[in-house]
Structure formats: C-alpha cells, structure tokens
C-alpha cells in the first residue's frame, strides 16, 4: 500500500524485466559477459589439458624453469587452501561463488565504466570456473607453481582472473574517485 501521491513500488518481476532490458542494451554488459565466458572456457580448457593432456595427476610435477613449474594440487578450500573441509565447506564456498557471480552480474548490467566492467568479467569468470570444479569434483584443480619466485601457493587460471579482476576494480575506484573529486577541489 502506498501513501497518496507516491507511486507504488514496482513488483520484483517488473524490476527484473527492466534490469534485463537495460543490461541487454548496455555494451559493457555484453562485453563483460563474453569476457566472463572466455575466462571460464580458458580456465576449464587449461584444467582439462593439465589433467588429461599432460596427465599431471599421475606425474604430480613438471619442472619448466627455475621459477615456474606445473604442480598438481587438489584444493579443497578457497584461496590458498583456506576454509578447507568437508561437504559443509564445499557447499558454503559454492554458495559464496554463486552469490558473488550473481551480484556482480546485476551490477555489470548497470555499469558504464570499462575498468569496472572488465573487473566484474574477470571475477565472475574466475568464480564460475572454480565453482564448476568444486561442484563436479569436490575440489578445485590448481597447477601454476611459481615457488621459484618464493610464492608458496599453487593456483589456476580462474584464481589469476579473480586477482586481475580485483585489480581492475581498484583501478576503477581510483579513476572514478578522481572524476568525482577533481584535483584542486575539496571534497
């Protein structure tokens, strides 16, 4: 019920239809969703090659150079193995990935800023790439090992995409802040 003179709030289906129409007309949304799909495809293809092409689960490690190796790791947790556990953590991490991807997709539909849209695309693609592993296998396949650079964690393409996406979002935040508060003016 609304007060006199106020418009009644639109129903959820009406708001969803309006968002979808605006998102479909938004070039940042289209490019962002294509970018996210590309990240998922690259992530899943790289993992299939590692597992089936190179047979890394059997070999465990392939030395490439003094700073980089391919090392097979089954990651049952989140980033860097945090929250590793049984079915409860698997469900929790899957729900978090779905929630993050959904929220960023909604935001992406409204965005008109290239850096933010790119950041959303990378994070969405990375979250979905790891979600596919977690749902299908119960763990995420990691294989990129830069321990020769004293980086102790093994990661994958989806993890790298999430980090690139966060960097893009940080860049966008600085650029967007500069536009809101140009130099020489107090904010």
Radius of gyration of the chain (CA): 20
Catalytic residue among 43, 133, 159, 172: 159
Q: Alpha carbon of 109 to those of 24, 27, 39, 95: distances in Å?
A: 8, 9, 18, 21
Of the candidates 21, 10, 9, the one whose C-alpha atom is nearest the C-alpha of residue 110 is 21
Is 142 annotated as catalytic? yes
Is 159 annotated as catalytic? yes
Catalytic residue among 142, 145, 172, 186: 142
The catalytic residues are 142, 159
């Amino acid at each position: 019920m609304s007060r006199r003179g106020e418009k009644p709030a639109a129903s959820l289906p009406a708001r969803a239809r309006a968002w979808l129409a605006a998102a479909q007309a938004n070039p940042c949304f289209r490019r962002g969703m294509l970018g996210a799909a590309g990240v998922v495809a690259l992530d899943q293809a790289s993992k299939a090659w590692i597992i089936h092409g190179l047979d890394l689960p059997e070999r465990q490690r392939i030395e490439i150079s003094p700073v980089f190796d391919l090392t097979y790791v089954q990651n049952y947790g989140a980033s860097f193995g945090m929250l590793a556990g049984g079915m409860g953590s698997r469900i929790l991490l899957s729900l978090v990935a779905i929630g993050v991807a959904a929220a960023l997709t909604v935001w992406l539909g409204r965005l008109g800023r290239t850096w933010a849209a790119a950041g959303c695309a990378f994070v969405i693609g990375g979250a979905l790439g790891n979600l596919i592993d977690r749902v299908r296998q119960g763990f995420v396949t990691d294989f990129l090992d830069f321990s020769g650079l004293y980086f102790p964690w093994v990661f994958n393409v989806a993890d790298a995409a999430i980090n690139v996406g966060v960097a893009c979002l940080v860049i966008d935040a600085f650029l967007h802040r500069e536009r809101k508060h140009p130099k020489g003016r107090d904010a």
